[in-house]
Amino acid sequence: MSPCGEDWFPMTEQGLLPYPSQVEWHTGSLALSRGLFVVNYLAARSERLESAVERITGQVRRRATAMNDGQPVTLEIDCGEPGQEWPSLGEDESYRLEVTDELVNLRAATEWGVLHGLNTLAQLVTPTGNLPTVLVEDTPRFPWRGLMIDVARHFIGIGVLRRTLDVMACYKLNVLHLHLTDDQAFRLRSRTFPRLASEPSYTSAELAGLVGYAAARGIRVIPELDMPGHSTSWLAAYPEWGNERTEATRRYGVHPGCLDPTSETVYEAIAALLGELDEIFPDRYVHIGGDEVHPAWWSGSESIRAFMRANGLADVVALQAHFNARVTGLVNDLGKVAVGWDEILHPDLTGGVLVQSWRGATARDRVLRQGHDCLVSAGYYLDLCFPADVHYRFDPEADEKALIELEDALTVDPRFEHVGAGMRWTDHWRQKGSSGGSSRGSVIGGEACLWSELVDESVLDARLWSRLPVVAERFWSPAAQRDIEDLYRRFTASLESLRASGLVDVFESSRALLARAGVTDVWMPLVSLLEPVKWYGRLLGEKVLSERLRGTEMPQSRPYDADTPLDRIVDGLLPESFIAREVNELSERVADGDEEAMSVLGDLARSWMLLSARPDCPEELAPLAESLAEVAGIVLDVLQGKTIDESVLQRAGRPHGEYLLAIVPGLSRWLTAPDQ
């Protein structure tokens, strides 16, 4: 199911992702043999470097299948100094990689730079085992290039996390942030509080092993305990930590359960848990959550209101700031720095805290103006099933005005028409004001976030790797790297390399999920044109979504909870249809009068009609097959110069349950152009 067919073959430059800051292509090439490299360590040498060389050569050997039996090529590794045991924020990750027609020279000040250079080297090898002669001088734009995985809503096993780290290293990502706790589950087996752990959960030994595995790849692992909200799982196990009782939950959405910020027992428990984390995670940063604190429990409690009065705390926001001050103090006592979601921002929040912005484009500048460093995640939520170009267009350091324009553009983008009004939710945060002094904090990087309400181990690869490489480029490459067409070319080539290297096969992974859901090959030409509805469309469900869009939403149940099996066709779809992109490109060529493209598109439309007429359509797909036939009819009419009924296209472009027929927005541009 590679988008470009069997004979597709990546050009050398196409596989580079993230694109290096400087590349000077020379004209020659260097042929590799099956023996690949003989490594000559010119300076520092370490076990970490040796195993990295072994890993990378293994990948290259699997990918480049047409090599001869000649002499191995010399790979000189000139590493300034062996690294510390653990990678840490802000170390020199740059490298210089030169391929001549005789040898490869890789120079870096640190082991971390060498690891990145080795990954670039692997990306440069062609499937026929040749290296282009080239000089790469590369350095990351941001020191924090992360991925957050929510392992609470669905447990993600250590084996899958290790594989995820392998692939993160290929894309030069250097932070794995584990969202270990949420309302539905607490995934750390605590020694002090054994009742907390949900089934399944991680032992400290497993997590420590993961941290070591990550460090060997230059990746830091940051744990998150989400508090004081999103803590129903804590409260179900230790009711004395809350000011009301609550039951364990499998439901999604924001829950009212909160830790009691007036209780010394709660701070003692948090101190003990942070101490346990400290034994496992050597990094200086610890995430304390802080998002979406439901006000009901606190504001409804007489004893909490009395505490607020006694401490001069004006509202629950000030009370959360009080809680945060206590918790960040506990983090600081361990010699560490707290990270929190942007709700922790408050005038009383003191220095030394890293704030992760997620609520729209304007949170970042509020963070910076208050003098805190910022980690940007707004624009990089992978669970929203956005097309890759959307993530790519968000730049962590773009002007606030440009970011607001991007957010506004999404609400009228035809691909988001079905949720556009809902996406205006970030307007609410804009009203928090953006006046103030000059920026003092810095953007130190970003994190892509994969919230896992609708992601379990089985669908992770298809969801993650079909988006994350693009965000990885945004965090590593210079801001000027922004050509979308070029990005997609390198992205598809890179996914193919990933497959051939034996790491992850995004397309096969999706195909296997679809087969599990009962899709036979004959229906793939339809299914490969589908995408899941965007934004929170699936999580909210059709009824709540339409009420939210009209502004009349009532609290009510959602279609999914943490026990809903994720085994339907929609769970196997890629967030963006690569085939629909190709169809759109074809229609652009047709619009330009390209006769060959007209003939190909006509054949395609006829094949869609034939497919849709088959009697064995899976029930869930039947309305989509019907719409596909209608769109095919319109394509054929336009190719024959007939006029069309545009309302048919509008209908076909609306969600069909949880599905979108992804060809419609692109085809509509051509089909409804004034000169058709």
Burial class (CB in 10 A: 0-12, 13-18, 19+), 229: buried
> Minimum distance from CB of 258 to ligand ACM (Å)?
15
* Full strand arrangement of the beta sheet holding 37-41: 22-31, 130-138, 95-99, 103-110, 73-81, 37-41
Which CB, 339 or 487, lies closer to ligand ACM? 339
Give the Cβ contact number of residue 19 at 10 Å: 20
> Minimum distance from CB of 291 to ligand ACM (Å)?
4
What is the Cα–Cα distance from 452 to 156, expressed in whole angstroms? 9
Q: Are 342 and 441 in contact (CB under 8 A)?
A: no
Which CB, 229 or 441, lies closer to ligand ACM? 229
> Minimum distance from CB of 444 to ligand ACM (Å)?
18
Which CB, 64 or 419, lies closer to ligand ACM? 419
User: Which of 358, 476, 491, 507 touches ligand ACM (CB under 6 A)?
Assistant: 358
> Minimum distance from CB of 503 to ligand ACM (Å)?
28
What is the Cα–Cα distance from 74 to 103, expressed in whole angstroms? 5
Which CB, 13 or 292, lies closer to ligand ACM? 292
> Minimum distance from CB of 452 to ligand ACM (Å)?
12
Comparing CA positions, the residue from 335, 453, 343 lying closest to residue 88 is 335
> Minimum distance from CB of 231 to ligand ACM (Å)?
13
Taking residues 242 to 281 in sequence order and writing x for each that binds ligand ACM by CB under 6 A, - otherwise, the string is ----------------------------------------
Which CB, 449 or 635, lies closer to ligand ACM? 449
Q: Are 148 and 447 in contact (CB under 8 A)?
A: yes
> Minimum distance from CB of 290 to ligand ACM (Å)?
9
Which CB, 381 or 416, lies closer to ligand ACM? 381
Q: Which residues pair with 68 in a beta bridge?
A: 33
What is the Cα–Cα distance from 606 to 636, expressed in whole angstroms? 8
Which position has the token pair 């169809």?
A: 583
What is the Cα–Cα distance from 108 to 231, expressed in whole angstroms? 44
Which CB, 171 or 341, lies closer to ligand ACM? 341
Which CB, 327 or 661, lies closer to ligand ACM? 327
What is the Cα–Cα distance from 416 to 394, expressed in whole angstroms? 16
Give the Cβ contact number of residue 25 at 10 Å: 11
Residue nearest to ligand ACM (CB): 291
What is the Cα–Cα distance from 103 to 445, expressed in whole angstroms? 35
User: Does 341 help bind ligand ACM (rule: CB under 6 A)?
Assistant: yes
> Minimum distance from CB of 97 to ligand ACM (Å)?
37
Taking residues 274 to 313 in sequence order and writing x for each that binds ligand ACM by CB under 6 A, - otherwise, the string is -----------------xx---------------------
> Minimum distance from CB of 358 to ligand ACM (Å)?
5
Considering CB under 6 A, how many residues would be counted as binding ligand ACM? 4
Comparing CA positions, the residue from 559, 638, 661 lying closest to residue 591 is 638
> Minimum distance from CB of 293 to ligand ACM (Å)?
10
For residue 169 the two structure tokens come to 């290293």
Q: Which residues pair with 99 in a beta bridge?
A: 104, 134
Does an H or E element contain 175, and which? strand 175-179
Q: Are 148 and 161 in contact (CB under 8 A)?
A: no
> Minimum distance from CB of 451 to ligand ACM (Å)?
6
Residue type, 10: P
Q: Are 19 and 475 in contact (CB under 8 A)?
A: no
Number of helices and strands in the chain (H, E)? 25, 16
> Minimum distance from CB of 341 to ligand ACM (Å)?
5
Residue type, 168: M
Which CB, 16 or 327, lies closer to ligand ACM? 327
Comparing CA positions, the residue from 509, 491, 514, 545 lying closest to residue 654 is 545
How many CA atoms does the CB half-sphere of 483 hold within 13 Å? 7
What is the Cα–Cα distance from 3 to 437, expressed in whole angstroms? 50
Question: Which residues, including other chains, have CB under 8 Å from residue 339's CB and lie 6 or more apart?
Answer: 222, 224, 285, 286, 287, 288, 353, 354, 355, 356, 375
Which CB, 219 or 363, lies closer to ligand ACM? 363
> Minimum distance from CB of 259 to ligand ACM (Å)?
17
Which CB, 202 or 451, lies closer to ligand ACM? 451
Residue 654 main-chain phi, psi, to 5 deg:
-75, 160
Which CB, 340 or 572, lies closer to ligand ACM? 340
Which CB, 290 or 572, lies closer to ligand ACM? 290
The CA–CA distances, whole Å, from 609 to 529, 598, 614, 632 equal 14, 17, 9, 6
Residues that bind ligand ACM (CB under 6 A): 291-292, 341, 358
